[in-house]
């Protein structure tokens, strides 16, 4: 049964998807799930926006080259920059599935966006994705001038699992005295893999696209052992200290199991003295941010992220 809180457009879209009779993701192998994720309906994602320049690149990483894609929304040097980490539960998705999102951010922010194709689980379990993410941010900061980026205006961000990686990279950069990050742009980030029993997990366990069963499937592939869920680099909500982190935009969806942990992270940041802009989109589901072609609020959230990137400075977003 569908939640009465769902936006009518979202409800209609979910009914259309249900009519296809696709198997639940948690019944698939990772390879099957990746194929399904790569076959998303382009009409739902929206048309790809034209940008000044697109280039596939390779970033040196701890296990070899990390595939990445550079988008330039403007030919002018010294533009704001973003290192973007895609969602997909650390198991599925990649550069192709989030191409529309990165193009939109680059164009609307007139920024340079580097989308990172970090290693996926279960072939590469935690902390492989974290290691790749931090290596990518360090490399982008070191090569900012070559990429057309003002190093003082670098944002990290992503959706879902990618939002998780962006939070962890921000913590690592603080703790390791790494590259300065001006801002975090987090879209329904995973912040606590140790607990799947928040009120939003209970209320939206089924029927709103992302399910509790899917999250268990993702977690089981990502973590090599159960106790890894307690590590702050897997569950940043459990980090003992969130002070000194970059200002953050946090976008949540009302009808999303991840809503409460993302909003709890916003509260923790505020308590630590970090400036936070929290925006909940009522009636929305995970992953409405990737559905701007069918859901207007997806385009609104994209615009918010792009404007955050455009406005990022060392002191605020």
Catalytic positions, written as ranges: 160, 256, 286
Cα–Cα distance, 68 to 65 (Å, whole number): 9
**With contact defined as beta carbons under 8 Å apart, do 146 and 222 qualify?**
no
Nearest to 234 by CA among 269, 191, 268, 267: 191
Q: Report the DSSP beta bridge partners of residue 53.
A: 72
Give me the DSSP letters along 269-303: HHHTT--EEEEEEEEEEBTGGG-TTT-HHHHHHHH
Cα–Cα distance, 316 to 313 (Å, whole number): 5
Cα–Cα distance, 308 to 248 (Å, whole number): 9
Nearest to 10 by CA among 199, 302, 282, 305: 282
Residue 111: C-alpha distances to residues 74, 257, 310, 316 (Å) = 6, 32, 7, 17
H-helix segments, 27-143: 30-38, 42-45, 99-109, 128-142
């Amino acid at each position: 049964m569908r939640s009465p809180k769902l936006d009518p457009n979202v409800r209609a879209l979910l009914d259309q998807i249900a009519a296809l009779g696709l198997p639940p993701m948690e019944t698939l192998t990772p390879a099957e799930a990746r194929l399904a994720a790569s076959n998303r309906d382009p009409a739902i994602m929206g048309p790809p926006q034209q940008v000044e320049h697109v280039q596939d690149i390779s970033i040196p990483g701890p296990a070899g080259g990390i595939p990445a894609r550079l988008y330039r929304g403007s030919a002018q040097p010294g533009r704001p920059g973003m290192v973007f980490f895609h969602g997909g539960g650390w198991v599925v998705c990649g550069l192709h599935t989030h191409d529309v999102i990165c193009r939109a951010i680059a164009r609307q922010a007139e920024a340079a966006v580097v989308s990172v194709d970090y290693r996926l689980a279960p072939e590469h379990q935690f902390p492989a994705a974290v290691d790749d993410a931090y290596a990518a941010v360090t490399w982008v900061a070191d090569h900012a001038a070559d990429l057309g980026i003002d190093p003082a205006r670098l944002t990290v961000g992503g959706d879902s699992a990618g939002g998780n990686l962006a939070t962890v990279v921000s913590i690592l950069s603080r703790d390791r005295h790494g590259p300065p990050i001006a801002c975090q742009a987090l879209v329904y980030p995973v912040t606590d893999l140790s607990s799947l029993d928040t009120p939003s997990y209970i209320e939206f366990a089924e029927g709103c696209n992302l399910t509790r069963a899917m999250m268990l499937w993702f977690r089981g592939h990502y973590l090599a052992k159960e106790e890894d869920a307690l590590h702050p680099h897997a569950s940043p909500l459990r980090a003992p200290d969130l002070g000194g982190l970059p200002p953050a935009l946090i976008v949540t969806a009302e009808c999303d199991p991840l809503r409460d942990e993302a909003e709890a992270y916003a509260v923790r940041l505020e308590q630590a003295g970090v400036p936070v802009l929290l925006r909940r989109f009522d009636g929305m589901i995970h992953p409405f941010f990737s559905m701007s072609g069918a859901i207007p609020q997806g385009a609104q959230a994209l615009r918010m992220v792009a404007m955050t990137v455009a406005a990022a400075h060392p002191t605020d977003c």
